[in-house]
Amino acid sequence: MKLNEALELVKFHYSNYKHDKNPRVKVLDFEYPGRPGQKTYGKRKDLLGWNLNYFKNPEQAIKSIDVIDSFARLMAATKKERYERIRLFFPEAYKYLRRYQRKYIKGLKRKDGAFWKKTNYDDLIKFDREKF
């Protein structure tokens, strides 16, 4: 197995879309509970990440997010601290952070080298936990 410390890149069909029904997302959290104070806080485990379809240069966005995230991991940062670092050092990314409800995600695929591989939410969560 190839060692890969980058955030997962996934794509899927999102049936509850407002602007993008087929997002490509650099995932920060596969089990995002929301923010304290939200009425849905802790009631759902959503996918939280950056929708690359909105960036002018998605390949550069991927590199920037991964470099910042990798450095934050070296400092044993939590997911929230990693997010804050990305927001600080790559402010353009802030406006493209999205939360996706799990029940509306269909046809989930993860980037595996040069190819997209079909997967499911549970496998991604397990893979993410084992990787870090």
Domain ranges of the chain: 9-131
Query: Model confidence over 33-73: pLDDT tens digits?
Result: 988 888 988 888 899 999 999 999 999 999 999 999 999 88
Query: Model confidence over 92-118: pLDDT tens digits?
Result: 999 999 999 999 999 999 998 889 999
Q: Give CA 109 to chain center in angstroms.
A: 13
Other CB atoms closer than 10 Å to residue 67's CB: what's the count?
Answer: 14
Other CB atoms closer than 10 Å to residue 36's CB: what's the count?
Answer: 7
Q: Above 80 in pLDDT, residue 130? A: no
Q: Above 80 in pLDDT, residue 25? A: yes
Other CB atoms closer than 10 Å to residue 114's CB: what's the count?
Answer: 5
Query: Which amino acid would we find at residue 44?
Result: R
Give the separation between CA 76 and CA 83, rounded to whole angstroms: 13
